[in-house]
Amino acid sequence: MDRWMGELAPQLRALDELAAHEAHMTRAADSLGIPQSSMSRRIHALEKTLGLRLLIQDGRTVRLTPAAVRLVDRARGPLHALEAAVEAIAGEADAQHGTVRFGFPLTMGSGRLPTLIAEFRRRAPGIRLQIKQAHGTQLTSDLKSGELDVAVMIPASDEVRHQVIGAQSILAVLPVRHRLAGRKRLRLKELHDEAFIANPMSYNLRQLTESWCAEAGFTPKIAVELTEFATMHELIGRGLGIALLPHDERSAPDIVEIALSPSSYRREIALAWSPTAATPASRRLLAFIRDQFASRSA
């Protein structure tokens, strides 16, 4: 145990950070707040202890060996759990400070969630938020690995602990000069001849688009496929197609959002957390988000 705490834990933490920075020694050292020379010594000491090479030269760059990658994959969870346990005990009586690594979907970059983040910062100015926007699969992976503490997810993932806290309505988004742009509501089957702009098939919203259109009796004609929702709005405004998207507060004047009938085109919003969310700061953010969504739906 003494050797683990005194030697191997710092060395494995250095390797973990090196992997996170794609074997860039300087950036990894800066992230840990140690000199690059100390970073190198930790890696070399770990190589000596294990009797394995962890880094190899690849042209002008350095990369991790397959053995190093496997070691990082196995050690990352316990390392983050250890850090979370220490932080939880050290800050047990202090929910005013600390760092929370928080993630949320690409479709929630405007409107309510940024407003909630701003309000949380106003109430808890001593808590530092490290925010990441990502695809739902990536958020799940980051929660499982301990890279994120808390995340709002659409939809919920059974791979992580979560609680459903709300729902996101999906709308038809059309160019403002579209023949149906003046309607207040649309049935999805009315869009069967339209060119669609959609995410790749790995995205939940694309999968739902395909499923909903199939239920309406047609296969959507995908004219453009891309990942960025802001760009999707831009292309719709330029007449390249239509899309099924959630409401966006930043919607451009050259597009319109129209409700769909029936009003069952919705996605669950879930609040999820990893084992690292045991710190007072993480628990405070979890409680705040729960309360805010609950008050909205009450």
Reported confidence tier of residue 36, pLDDT bands at 50, 70, 90: confident
Token pair, residue 102, equals 């928080």
Alpha carbons 76 and 74: distance in angstroms, whole number? 6
Of the listed ranges 9-13, 34-38, 169-173, 245-249, the least confidently predicted one is 9-13
pTM of this structure: 0.66
Mean of pLDDT values over 66-83? 83
**Domain 1-78 belongs to what architecture?**
Orthogonal Bundle (1.10)
Q: Where does the chain hold its CATH 3.40.190.290 domain(s)?
A: 166-267
Q: Which residue has the tokens 């939940």?
A: 204
Looking at the predicted structure, is the pLDDT value of residue 99 above 50?
Answer: yes
Helix ranges (H only) for 131-249 are 136-145, 204-215, 229-237
Alpha carbons 92 and 86: distance in angstroms, whole number? 10
Q: Where does the chain hold its CATH 1.10.10.10 domain(s)?
A: 1-78
The answer to whether residues 169 and 263 touch, using CB atoms and an 8 Å cutoff, is: yes
Class of domain 100-164+272-295: alpha beta
* Fold of the domain built from segment(s) 166-267: D-Maltodextrin-Binding Protein; domain 2 (3.40.190)
Local structure of residue 149 (DSSP, 8 states): S
Alpha carbons 127 and 174: distance in angstroms, whole number? 41
Looking at the predicted structure, is the pLDDT value of residue 12 above 90?
Answer: no
Reported confidence tier of residue 296, pLDDT bands at 50, 70, 90: low
Mean of pLDDT values over 12-30? 86
Percent of the chain surpassing pLDDT 90:
49
Reported confidence tier of residue 107, pLDDT bands at 50, 70, 90: confident
Reported confidence tier of residue 261, pLDDT bands at 50, 70, 90: very high
